[in-house]
Amino acid sequence: MKRFERRVVLVTGAGSGIGRATAQAFAARGALVIAAGLGESGLAETQASIVRAGGRCETHPADVSDESAMHALAKAVHQRHDAVDVLVNNAGIGAAGRFLGTTPATWDRVWAVNVRGVMLGCKLFLPAMIARRQGHVVNIASMAGYFASPEMPVYAASKSAVIGFSESLRADLADKGVGVSAICPGIVNTNIIATTTAEGSAAPWQAGAVDFYRRRNYPPSRVAQAIVQAVEDNAALVPVTPEAWIGYHLKRLVPGAARALAARPLPFMKTP
């Protein structure tokens, strides 16, 4: 898929951060963007920014972890469009804290959004794409899915699952005209750290992490560019940010060094 004029692109978690930047990037290339997610004010801001730039955008509030809400979203979208051309499963939440300091409730909440939300998006929008033998699915994972700190067991598990699911789905759909890409960002300046559930040893350094991400200031727009490129190239897995690429190659070529490096605290961490 090299051009996006007259294409329909659905982005979940489109009210801020990578989701908003992705919606803007596809709209700038001529696509009709469907911005979905929680927070009607954020979705409205995304829509307004696209319209101001001369683009087209619809908004649909939806909680990706709620099956009935996702069925309602799919029904509303398919009443207006035969199928979406690009599905970007971006909605996600963060969690930090060593394994024994994390609660089962946190595991359930993160899994519901980061994994089940991706599954529901694919389950409900893929049949129409397959029927047309055309389309592309983008699942937003993370470098934590293959290069994880000991402070990120919940989040890393969820993003590793997204990578594995994307690989399996890509093989499944290879002969059906639908591509699948997993995008693995590293440290990107979004609000995910500020809204992360920080438990146990992670709680003391959350404020420092927010400041670190802000000062690093790797913009969501760069991730959005990588997402568009992944669709154009039908790329399977795309690390984004220098540290994501370094971690990816280290894990493949020097796994022992990768494990040692991943175990070291990040600059903003304060070990108890």
| pLDDT one-digit tens code per residue, 71-111 | 999 999 999 999 999 999 999 999 999 999 999 999 999 99
Task: Establish if 196 belongs to a structural domain.
Answer: no
CA dist., res. 188 & res. 69, Å (int): 29
Alpha-carbon distance values, 130 to 32, 85, 173, 174 (Å): 20, 10, 8, 11
CA dist., res. 214 & res. 268, Å (int): 12
Nearest to residue 111, comparing CAs of 160, 182, 62, 144?
160
196 compared with 265, residue with greater pLDDT = 196
Q: For 26-52, what is the mean pLDDT? A: 96
Task: Establish if 208 belongs to a structural domain.
Answer: no
Task: Establish if 197 belongs to a structural domain.
Answer: no
Here the tokens at position 149 are 């700190």
pLDDT at 271: 46
**Side-chain half-sphere CA neighbours of 169 within 13 A:** 25
DSSP at 101 = G
Task: State the residue range of the domain holding 251.
Answer: 8-186+220-263
Task: Mark whether 155 is an active-site residue.
Answer: yes
Choosing from 155, 213, 218, 248, the catalytic residue is 155
* CATH number of the domain enclosing 169: 3.40.50.720
Task: Establish if 270 belongs to a structural domain.
Answer: no
Task: Establish if 249 belongs to a structural domain.
Answer: yes
Task: Establish if 210 belongs to a structural domain.
Answer: no
Q: How, if at all, do strands 95-96 and 135-140 pair?
A: unpaired
pLDDT at 51: 97
Q: Does residue 270 surpass a pLDDT of 70? A: no
Packing angle, helices 153-173 and 117-132, rounded to 10: 10
CA dist., res. 151 & res. 58, Å (int): 38
CA dist., res. 196 & res. 182, Å (int): 22
Q: Could you give the 3-state DSSP secondary structure of residue 27?
A: helix
**Partners of 136 in beta bridges:** 86, 179
pLDDT at 268: 67
Give the chain's domain count.
1
State pLDDT tens for residues 171-225.
999 999 999 999 999 999 998 888 899 898 888 888 888 888 888 889 999 999 9
pLDDT at 209: 84
Q: Could you give the 3-state DSSP secondary structure of residue 1?
A: coil
Q: What percent of the chain has pLDDT over 90?
A: 81
pLDDT at 206: 81
Nearest to residue 8, comparing CAs of 43, 25, 27, 33?
33
Task: Establish if 268 belongs to a structural domain.
Answer: no
Task: Establish if 48 belongs to a structural domain.
Answer: yes
CB atoms within 10 A of CB 115: 20
Q: Does residue 261 surpass a pLDDT of 90? A: no
CA dist., res. 97 & res. 116, Å (int): 22
Nearest to residue 241, comparing CAs of 219, 265, 263?
219
